[in-house]
Amino acid sequence: MAEGGAIKRIVIVGGGTAGWMTAAALSRFLGGSGRRIVLIESEAIGTVGVGEGTIPPILEFNLQLGLDEAAFLRETHATYKLGIEFVGWTRKGERYFHQFGQIGRPLNGVPFYQLWLRNRANASIGPLAGYSMSAVAAADHRFSHPSPDPADPLSQLAYAFHFDASAYGQFLRRYAEAHGAERIEGKIIGVEQDGESGFVTAVRLEDDRRVRGDLFIDCSGFRSLLLGQQLQVPFEDWSHWLPCDRAVTVGSERISPLLPYTRSTAQPAGWQWRIPLQHRTGNGHVYCSASMEDDEAERILVSTLDAPTISDPRRLRFTAGRRTKSWEANVVAIGLSSGFLEPLESTSIHLIQHGIQKLLGLFPSRGISSVERAEYNRHMVNSYEPVRDFIILHYFANNREEPFWRQVRSMTLPEALQHKIELFREHGHVFRYNDELFDIPSWVAVMLGQGIDPSACDPLATALPEAEVLRAIAELKRAYEDAAKRLPLASDFIERRIAAAQ
Ligand SMILES: Cc1cc2nc3c(=O)[nH]c(=O)nc-3n(C[C@H](O)[C@H](O)[C@H](O)COP(=O)(O)OP(=O)(O)OC[C@H]3O[C@@H](n4cnc5c(N)ncnc54)[C@H](O)[C@@H]3O)c2cc1C
């Protein structure tokens, strides 16, 4: 059963990254349908102003919009990203790489990492990252687009971007406006609801203007103006699993060479990111306020930078969790208004993209159907929870000695994650369920990187002749190393891409 009338006026509340990504996609796919798309934002309130790391599905979003990569690189100060280097997460000084893309190639149908597990005691095998094209290229600071030839190791390169999320929002604002979206500047001070259906009918601005709509997309950030404040959809707090609730951020001078990866360094009560952009480096320290004072967190951040600061430190507060529903009545929340997970695996912008794509996939026409709304909510739960669990894994599996790390090591895990870890401890098996974002190579890299050791490898790996396995491993390693030498430095590749398009 559908409630409400035809969806002719879509009102997006908020013009941060979520608002403009939504406006860009809706104007691209619905712009020609005679529907009116309006975005309201308030310069006085501003945006959260952070966000720099992304993951490979962002390529699909940009492609769907038909964005020109060179223009995107130039306008958002973007660099290429091949993965994340984790430093000190198991013990001080230890490091591992969470690569984008595959690890090695299967042999007789046996996943490569199982062959690696079987032989890792052999001194010549080296770290798992030596068998990922993306990780090998990242270690050499090199980058190129993947080769279209599946036989070429370079076909296994997988990438995303580091960019300035605010600049991305503005880039998409120009796109959305060019595709017919209208922008209204103003602060919303009131929300009108239909007494019977509970549908939001209009929002009222400070200057008495009234903006009516049939469908409202709440992109109002942590305020969650419509979904949280007006419709009172509860917030499910996940801070017992993810206790970090503060961040301090600061920009520093650009580093040279430009590195095609994020670095995430564990700190006594949290962790610190370093994200190289074309014009500066983004840095931030995420920490748990119950275990560390704000001043101490800022002192750690500023004293461990690679280069001098170029801005004043900024402090932010948050709580990990999500609204129990993302779509209630005729309000769909996308972005921080719908939930927040710390940026450890750069997943917030992806969850925005996912929310938009699912909304387009279930877009209402003659009113809003409760079954489609329920389906949307089901998808969003299925998207958030595995990402949450993936982030928890980094905290739980650690061997650090500080009280914060001892505390997170002793937490009771979500059941699904507990199962995943126990299963991995047996024969290194990982399976991907439902809409899970992270694929098997990601789980394997982080499980092993965080020191979760299977007690044995897959028996199918031990069934293969040892000499054949060792030969395949050695050949693959050489192939990745040789292929990386053919690549340009990441900074040269970016400069050439931008210059060629001018
Ligand atoms: C410390 C930190 C680091 C992060 N790093 C990453 C990262 O590396 N990768 C990643 O993917 N994500 C990251 N994120 C998340 C990312 O910043 C957000 O997901 C993204 O910026 C989207 O924010 P938003 O548009 O939902 O909210 P906001 O940027 O807060 O935008 C809210 C909008 O609503 C408007 N608004 C609010 N109230 C009103 C009102 N009453 N009237 C009119 N307008 C109103 C505001 O003006 C603004 O335009 C990070 C977040 C934090 C806190």
| Three-state secondary structure of 110-159 | ECHHHHHHHHCCCCCCCCHHHHCHHHHHHHCCECCCCCCCCCCHHHHCCC
Supply the residue whose CA is at minimum distance from atom 16 of ligand 1.
51
Q: How far apart are CA 470 and CA 112, in angstroms?
A: 12
pLDDT tens for 334-368 read: 999 999 999 999 999 999 999 999 999 999 988 99
Supply the residue whose CA is at minimum distance from atom 35 of ligand 1.
14
Ligand 1 lined by 223 (C-beta under 6 Å): yes
Q: How far apart are CA 80 and CA 262, in angstroms?
A: 10
End-to-end alpha carbon distance in the chain? 53
Q: Which atom of ligand 1 is nearest to the CA of 205?
A: 42
Q: Is residue 42's pLDDT more than 90?
A: yes
pLDDT of residue 440: 96
Pair 239, 213: CB distance under 8 Å: no
Enclosing H/E stretch for 462: helix 459-462
Enclosing H/E stretch for 372: helix 370-396
pLDDT of residue 439: 95
- Indicate the length of the chain as a whole number: 502
Q: Is residue 12's pLDDT more than 70?
A: yes
Burial of 483 (0-12, 13-18, 19+ CB in 10 A): buried
CA-CA-CA-CA torsion sign (149, 152, 154, 157): positive
Q: What band does 401 get if pLDDT is binned at 50, 70 and 90?
A: very high
pLDDT of residue 26: 98
User: In which residue are the tokens 């991305």 written?
Assistant: 168
pLDDT tens for 219-245 read: 999 999 999 999 999 999 999 999 999
Q: Which atom of ligand 1 is nearest to the CA of 18?
A: 25
Pair 411, 241: CB distance under 8 Å: yes
**Ligand 1 pocket mutation pick from 220, 272, 338, 351 by most atoms within 8 angstroms of CB:** 220
Distance 352 CA to ligand 1 centre (A): 10
Judged by phi (left if over 0) then psi (alpha if -120 to 50, else beta), residue 298 lies in alpha
Q: How far apart are CA 449 and CA 132, in angstroms?
A: 14
Query: One of 8, 81, 420, 485 is an active-site residue; which one?
Result: 81
Q: Is residue 435's pLDDT more than 90?
A: no
**Ligand 1 pocket mutation pick from 21, 22, 48, 206 by most atoms within 8 angstroms of CB:** 48
Burial of 146 (0-12, 13-18, 19+ CB in 10 A): middle
User: In which residue are the tokens 């809409």 written?
Assistant: 435
Pair 310, 197: CB distance under 8 Å: no
pLDDT tens for 242-271 read: 999 999 999 999 988 899 999 999 999 999
The β-bridge relationship of strands 79-81 and 83-87 is unpaired
Ligand 1 lined by 346 (C-beta under 6 Å): yes
Active site residue 485: no
- How does DSSP classify residue 359? H
Is the pTM here over 0.85, yes or no?
yes
**Helix and strand element counts for the chain (H, E):** 15, 23
Q: How far apart are CA 61 and CA 72, in angstroms?
A: 12
Ligand 1 lined by 75 (C-beta under 6 Å): no
Burial of 477 (0-12, 13-18, 19+ CB in 10 A): middle
pLDDT of residue 434: 79
Distance 170 CA to ligand 1 centre (A): 13
Ligand 1 lined by 17 (C-beta under 6 Å): yes
Q: Is residue 428's pLDDT more than 80?
A: yes
**Ligand 1 pocket mutation pick from 40, 45, 298 by most atoms within 8 angstroms of CB:** 45
pLDDT tens for 155-204 read: 999 999 999 999 999 999 999 999 999 999 999 999 999 999 999 999 99
Peptide bond into 257 cis (omega under 30): yes
Q: Which whole number is the average pLDDT over 89-93? A: 88
pLDDT of residue 33: 83
Q: Which atom of ligand 1 is nearest to the CA of 19?
A: 25
Average confidence score pLDDT of the chain: 96
- How does DSSP classify residue 111? -
Judged by phi (left if over 0) then psi (alpha if -120 to 50, else beta), residue 468 lies in alpha
Q: Which whole number is the average pLDDT over 433-455? A: 94
Pair 388, 415: CB distance under 8 Å: no
Ligand 1 lined by 334 (C-beta under 6 Å): no
Q: Which whole number is the average pLDDT over 393-402? A: 96
Ligand 1 lined by 42 (C-beta under 6 Å): yes
Question: Which residue(s) pair with 217 in the sheet?
Answer: 12, 332
Pair 146, 155: CB distance under 8 Å: yes
Alpha helices, DSSP H, located in 197-288: none
- How does DSSP classify residue 436? -
Q: Is residue 9's pLDDT more than 70?
A: yes
pLDDT tens for 54-79 read: 999 999 999 999 999 999 999 999 99
Nearest to 225 by CA among 304, 83, 331: 331
Q: Is residue 501's pLDDT more than 80?
A: no
Burial 132-141 (b: 16+ CB within 10 A, else e): bbbbbbbbeb
The β-bridge relationship of strands 200-205 and 327-328 is unpaired
The β-bridge relationship of strands 36-41 and 9-13 is parallel
Structure tokens at 168: 């991305």
Structure tokens at 181: 């979206």
pLDDT of residue 1: 63
Structure tokens at 386: 């595995």
The β-bridge relationship of strands 331-333 and 215-218 is parallel
| In the chain, % of residues over pLDDT 90 | 93
Structure tokens at 383: 């998207």
CB atoms within 10 A of CB 60: 11
